[in-house]
Amino acid sequence: MENDQQSKAFPVSWDQFHRDCRALAWRLADKGEFKAIVCITRGGLVPAGIIARELGVRTIETVCIASYHDYDDQGELKVIKPIDPKVIGNDGEGVLIIDDLVDTGKTAKVVREMLPKAHLATVYAKPQGREMADTIVTELSQDTWVYFPWDMGWQFQPPITKDSAG
């Protein structure tokens, strides 16, 4: 792990993530009725389940996109599993796209091209990808590394600044 990732770490607990997903659902509640949710996997699976419950949406579809990259450079994107054509309907009208994070916006752009009339919502957003999302909860700096609860175990987290008193 690079030093920047350590110093700009944003660890998210299950409780915090659940609260943030509910906050996203509150923001989406007045955006109209959604007939289906398309979650971008894998990160969109958990927030899609929470938001579907909160908004009473029963149809949840996935779109699976893989990025072949190292952690410094996002590479080529490949659609592994497309969206079921029955869900797409009229260019995604009435569809809610959910992801955990929009980072560079490249993945969101691919899904937006599939569903141009859909509403895209993410729990967290970074500046490079922010314009791709219609609704977010929290904006983070581009150099922040988000540690989602499904990526973590229980371990010590170093303080943000070093205590000079020792």
CB within 8 Å of 74: residues ≥ 6 apart: 67, 103, 104, 106
**Catalytic residue at 99?**
yes
Instruction: List, in sequence order, every residue forming a beta bridge with 11; answer none if it has no partner.
Output: 147
| Angle at alpha carbon of residue 102, lines to 77 and 83, rounded to 5° | 55
Note if 15 is an active site residue: no
Annotated active-site residue in 15, 73, 100, 143: 100
Choose the catalytic residue: 4, 73, 103, 151.
103
Nearest to 43 by CA among 20, 23, 27, 9: 20
Structure token pair of residue 142: 């581009």
Find the catalytic residue in 99, 134, 151, 163.
99
Active-site annotation holds for 72: no
Q: What residues are labeled active site?
A: 99-100, 103
